[in-house]
Chain A
Amino acid sequence: MGFKELIIQKVKEQFDNSIEEIKEFRGDLSITIKKEKIVELAKLLKEDNDLHFETCIDVTAIDWATRKNRFTVVYHVYSYKNNFTLRIKANIDDNPPQIESVTSVWKSANWYERETYDMYGIIFINHPDLRRIYMPEGFEYHPLRKDFPVLGIPGSLPLPDKID
């Protein structure tokens, strides 16, 4: 049995009802799971004796704009022992967009979740320090949302006074 099949088998064993989709595209394996189970899945992937997904290498999101579940949160996790990158997705809705933080499992997710909060306004519950990371404090918008204009909202970012 290959490593991919092993992951699928172990995940299906524990989360059969909560899996929305398991998909392989050009060699990359993606697992879509219900948002309530994200931390449990993270624990399984990290602590299982065969899987060893020790590192969360990225957290980001997709804004589908008009879809019913507006956002998809995407995690990339990596196993050094098996040299394998796995993608986890969770669909969440817009009122309010929130999901449990995985920082309790992967510490490295801390700043990635802050970035995702900054850019998409997704609230990570139980995150130790959910502040903006790129945009200045006091900025009121989330720039990577589809309804945010590319050139920004005039006056939303302060500039020094003009001098001659």
Chain B
Amino acid sequence: MGLEAKLNKDGFITTTLDAIIAWARKSSVWPMPMGISCCAIELIAAADPKYDLARFGSEVMRFTPRQCDLMIVAGTVTYKMAQVVRRIYDQMPEPKWVIAMGACTSSGGMYRSYNVVQGIDQFLPVDVYTAGCPPRPENLINAVMTIQQKIAKTKARDFQDKPLLENIDK
């Protein structure tokens, strides 16, 4: 099956660089676990052996933004925390993606209040929104797979002119 069968037959495959780079990229999405409140518990559950995010190449939660390319914002973002989230996002090298995990990050959720940002898309470019309060691990895994589909469609040259770090303070 799959690649192994090809290897037995011919010993080589032909493809495009774009395809193979996108394939490599989507198969090792390293998340930044931006666990701010209760969604973080489901984020942990998604990474544990039962749900096993590792099946999709995303098991390496990096606690430094410099080694990540996917930010999973898991939890209520207050106006005070928004500055921190954005600062961490700015430190992630290009190309990078964002999952808004749960109701709070997507829309403010049940916190319809003066201190909570009503949707992190007010200051971050969100790629995938995840419904739920908190979302089940399957839901988060689905979000990661959606990101993978998005990455698979990218071309390597989409990112070549972008500097590695853009908005960061010099």
Contacts and interface: CB of A to CB of B under 8 A. Distances in A.
A148 B115 CA distance: 12
B80 interface: yes
Contacts of A153: 114
Nearest to A141: B114
A143 B123 contact: no
Contacts of B79: 136, 157-159
Interface string A141-162: 0010000111111000111111
A1 interface: no
A112 B15 CA distance: 66
Contacts of B82: 159-160
A160 B123 contact: yes
Chain B facing A: main interface SS: loop
A89 B105 CA distance: 40
B125 A164 contact: yes
Contacts of B115: 134-135, 143, 152, 157
Contacts of A164: 125
Q: Range of interface residues on chain B?
A: 10 to 19
Contacts of B112: 150-151
Contacts of B123: 159-163
B114 A151 contact: yes
B150 to A, nearest CB: 15
Contact of B124 (A135, A148, A158, A163): A163
B72 to A, nearest CB: 18
Contacts of B83: 158, 160
B8 interface: no
A149 B118 CA distance: 15
B92 interface: no
Contacts of A159: 79, 82, 117, 122-123
Nearest to B167: A163
B86 interface: yes
A152 B115 CA distance: 7
Interface in A97-152: 134-136, 143, 148-152
A143 B83 CA distance: 20
A151 B167 CA distance: 29
A13 B114 CA distance: 46
13 contacts: A135-B115, A136-B80, A143-B114, A150-B112, A150-B113, A151-B112, A152-B114, A157-B114, A159-B122, A159-B123, A160-B86, A160-B123, A162-B123
Interface of B: 79-80, 82-83, 86, 112-115, 117-118, 122-125, 167
- Report the 6 A-B pairs with minimum CB-CB distance, sorted nearest first: A152-B114, A160-B86, A157-B79, A160-B123, A159-B123, A164-B125
Given A159-B122, A160-B86, 11 more contacts: A143-B114, A151-B112, A152-B115, A153-B114, A159-B79, A159-B117, A160-B82, A160-B83, A160-B123, A162-B123, A163-B124
